[in-house]
Structure 1
Amino acid sequence: MAPKSKPNPDRDLHALIDVAKTTQTLLTHYQSSLTLSQTSSDSVTPSSTSETPPNPLDVIKATTTLLRSHTTTLSLLLLTPPLTATAISKKLGDVGAGVLSSMIAAALTAPQAGQKDELGTLLRTELRVQVKRVLGTWSDIPALVLRFAERRERDIKIGKAKDEGPSESDKQNVLSSTGVVWEACDDLLKICNNGVVGLVVKKAEEWRGTLKDAVEELKEWGEDEEDDDDDEAEGSDNEFKDEDDIFAAANKLGKGDKELKALLDISLKKLKLVGTLYQALIKRRLKVFPKSFPPANSTNGDASEKPLDSMEKLEKLMDILKSIPDTVDDLASGFYDLDEEEAKETLEKCCREAKSAAALVKQSWAGQDDEFTAWSEKWVSALEAS
Structure 2
Amino acid sequence: MPPKPASLRALLDLTSTTLTLLTHFQSSLAPTATADASVPPPPNSLQALKACTSLLKSHTTTLSLLLLTPPLTPSAIITKIGDVSSGPLAGLVGAAVAEGELGDLMQAEVKIQVRRLLGAWGDVVGCVARLAERRKKLEDENGGGAAKGKKDEGPTEGERQAVLAATGVVWEACDALVKLCDGGIAGLVVRKAEEWRSVLLDAVQELKEWGEDVDQEDDEEDGSGGEFGDEDDMFGAANRLGKEDKDLKEVLDKSVKKLKMVGVLYLALIKRRLKTFPAVLPAVAATAVGHKNPMTTLEELMKFIKSIPEQVDDLASAFYDLDEDEAKTMLDKCCREAKSAASLVKQDWSGNEDEFTAWSTKWEDAFNEQ
The residue identity in structure 1 corresponding to 2:262 is V
Matching of residue 130 in structure 1 with residue 113 in structure 2 = yes
* Map of 1:354 onto structure 2: 338
1:204/1:322 contact within 8 Å kept? yes
Distance 1:41 1:23, change over 3 A: closer
| Residue aligned with 1:166, SS | coil
Distance 1:110 1:362, change over 3 A: same
CA distance, structure 2, for counterparts of residue 33 and residue 84 of structure 1: 32
* Map of 1:200 onto structure 2: 189
* Map of 1:115 onto structure 2: none
* Map of 1:297 onto structure 2: 288
1:77-100 deviation per Cα after TM superposition (whole angstroms, max 9, x unaligned): 111111111101110111123221
* Map of 2:16 onto structure 1: 21
Cα displacement (A) at 1:234: 5.7
2:281/2:294 contact within 8 Å kept? no
Note the 1:162-173 alignment, pairs <5 A. 162-173=151-162
Matching of residue 227 in structure 1 with residue 207 in structure 2 = no
Q: Which runs of 5+ in 1 are unaligned?
A: 112-117, 300-306
The residue identity in structure 2 corresponding to 1:310 is P
* Map of 1:114 onto structure 2: none
The residue identity in structure 2 corresponding to 1:210 is V
CA distance, structure 1, for counterparts of residue 226 and residue 188 of structure 2: 58
1:46/1:53 contact within 8 Å kept? no
More deviation, 155-164/354-363: 155-164
Distance 1:67 1:44, change over 3 A: farther
Distance 1:216 1:66, change over 3 A: same
Distance 1:222 1:30, change over 3 A: same
Matching of residue 241 in structure 1 with residue 231 in structure 2 = yes
Q: Identify the match of residue 43 of structure 1 among 18, 36, 59.
A: 36
Matching of residue 4 in structure 1 with residue 41 in structure 2 = no
1:273-326 deviation per Cα after TM superposition (whole angstroms, max 9, x unaligned): 000000000101111112232644354xxxxxxx42111111100111110100
1:45/1:110 contact within 8 Å kept? no
Cα displacement (A) at 1:238: 6.4
1:306-363 deviation per Cα after TM superposition (whole angstroms, max 9, x unaligned): x421111111001111101001111111111111111111111000000000000111
CA distance, structure 2, for counterparts of residue 275 and residue 298 of structure 1: 32
CA distance, structure 2, for counterparts of residue 348 and residue 45 of structure 1: 45
| Residue aligned with 2:352, SS | coil
Note the 1:244-323 alignment, pairs <5 A. 246-290=234-278, 291-293=280-282, 295-297=286-288, 299=290, 307-323=291-307
The residue identity in structure 2 corresponding to 1:297 is A
| Residue aligned with 1:241, SS | helix
More deviation, 98-107/322-331: 98-107
The residue identity in structure 2 corresponding to 1:252 is R
Cα displacement (A) at 1:54: 2.3
1:226-251 deviation per Cα after TM superposition (whole angstroms, max 9, x unaligned): 73684573699768625xx6322311
Cα displacement (A) at 1:179: 0.6
1:249-275 deviation per Cα after TM superposition (whole angstroms, max 9, x unaligned): 311111222111111111111001000
CA distance, structure 2, for counterparts of residue 224 and residue 45 of structure 1: 60
Q: Which runs of 5+ in 2 are unaligned?
A: none
**TM-score, normalised by the number of residues in structure 2:** 0.92
Distance 1:320 1:102, change over 3 A: same
Percent of paired sites with the same residue: 56
1:222/1:253 contact within 8 Å kept? yes
* Map of 1:90 onto structure 2: 79
1:296/1:309 contact within 8 Å kept? yes
CA distance, structure 2, for counterparts of residue 97 and residue 5 of structure 1: 23
The residue identity in structure 2 corresponding to 1:272 is K
